[in-house]
Structure 1
């Protein structure tokens, strides 16, 4: 698996339903959001990105403001402890639901967090090398089958069963994308899901 994400998504309703409605991005509101959060003179690039790529490196910020929804991707969201997200981002989206989703395929890392009306509900992050870094709040329903061993990281008949978790973090990461936002990046993808490449996002240089 080669998928990577480090992004925040804010929603005033069901994020998957909003994305599935093919919402129109408000370019002015997107630029103002980035300027307000970063306090920078940022300049959008001529060419847009899209929701299939939300892992920009330090010189770029990817963002989109839609009716009832906002997406913000930047490398400071790829953090070991999602629960320790910079409070300014939580305060900026203090009503509705804020999600952090971070995957890094090179190290099999996955982390996510969910805040409702500014209050943390759930935070989890883990990787084979570091173990479980965050595990705050009750497990969400989509997680339960993974912890129960229903999606094993290795073949049960494989002699090498040394993988430290009963599931693969990136597979849980894909399940989170599907559960929260109605799309996936890799694996067995349901054809009824949103095509993330159809959701445009602006790209900014810091």
Structure 2
């Protein structure tokens, strides 16, 4: 799996449980989520993809999946430099109780992730090659303990969403090759 990714997940409970069940896509709901995330913009549906191919979309594209108990979106235009800078529009785009953010850029040595519950930020962490830790707020999550900083992007992806980043697939891993999303091109309305 690529180490360049941007993913925001809105979930009623644990996103791993929902994703592991390979939920059925609610395609009409994806349009509503895109419209809430990009008010006033034009969203053109341009196809379907699997989540594994949607994690690192082009700049003007978002990939959206809406399922029972979970909504997700991949889009660099939504990704903040630090989790604490996540736009309130994104946080309020879904009525789900929990919001999870994961973004990484392997070439830049940058990874950030955050967790919100009922609108309150519980964890925000941003690590980059220089200056090192750019943000570290809230209680550390289980996957952070004793880990190698170089493995942080994969550890965070596994811990938050159950995706394996390497060839060592566990039987309980979520398989993003089996989760469908809808692809939209976003442009400013004229």
Asked if Structure 1 and Structure 2 have the same fold, meaning a TM-score greater than 0.5 normalized by the shorter chain, the answer is yes
**Contact 1:101–1:113 (8 Å) recurs in 2:** yes
Pair member with larger Rg: 1
**Contact 2:50–2:178 (8 Å) recurs in 1:** yes
**Matches of 1:174 and 1:194, distance apart in 2:** 13
Shift of 1:128: 1.2
Question: Which secondary structure state, in structure 1, belongs to the residue aligned with residue 84 of structure 2?
Answer: helix
**Matches of 1:132 and 1:76, distance apart in 2:** 23
**Matches of 2:184 and 2:87, distance apart in 1:** 20
Aligned-residue Cα RMSD (Å) equals 1.7
Segments of structure 1 that go 5 or more residues without pairing to the other structure are: 152-166
Question: Which secondary structure state, in structure 1, belongs to the residue aligned with residue 115 of structure 2?
Answer: strand
Equivalence map 1:116-131=2 (5 Å): 116-131=117-132
**Matches of 1:63 and 1:74, distance apart in 2:** 9
Shift of 1:86: 0.6
**Matching residue of 1:195:** 175
Shift of 1:16: 0.7
**Contact 2:124–2:135 (8 Å) recurs in 1:** yes
**Contact 1:93–1:118 (8 Å) recurs in 2:** no
Equivalence map 1:58-77=2 (5 Å): 58-77=59-78
- TM-score, normalised to structure 2, is 0.89
**Matches of 1:100 and 1:10, distance apart in 2:** 9
**Matching residue of 2:9:** 9
Segments of structure 2 that go 5 or more residues without pairing to the other structure are: none
**Matching residue of 1:204:** 184
**Matches of 1:31 and 1:94, distance apart in 2:** 15
Higher strand share: 2
- Are residues 106 and 78 of structure 1, via their aligned partners in 2, closer, same or farther at CA, if it must alter by over 3 Å? farther
**Cα deviation digits, residues 152-192 of structure 1 (max 9, x gap):** xxxxxxxxxxxxxxx21xx1121122112111233533243
**Contact 1:63–1:71 (8 Å) recurs in 2:** yes
**Contact 1:16–1:180 (8 Å) recurs in 2:** yes
Which 10-residue stretch deviates more, 66-75 or 189-198? Answer: 189-198
The count of corresponding residues between Structure 1 and Structure 2 is 184
**Contact 2:61–2:185 (8 Å) recurs in 1:** yes
Question: Which secondary structure state, in structure 1, belongs to the residue aligned with residue 174 of structure 2?
Answer: coil
Shift of 1:91: 2.1
**Cα deviation digits, residues 95-140 of structure 1 (max 9, x gap):** 5110010010111111000000110000000111232111011111
**Contact 1:112–1:125 (8 Å) recurs in 2:** yes
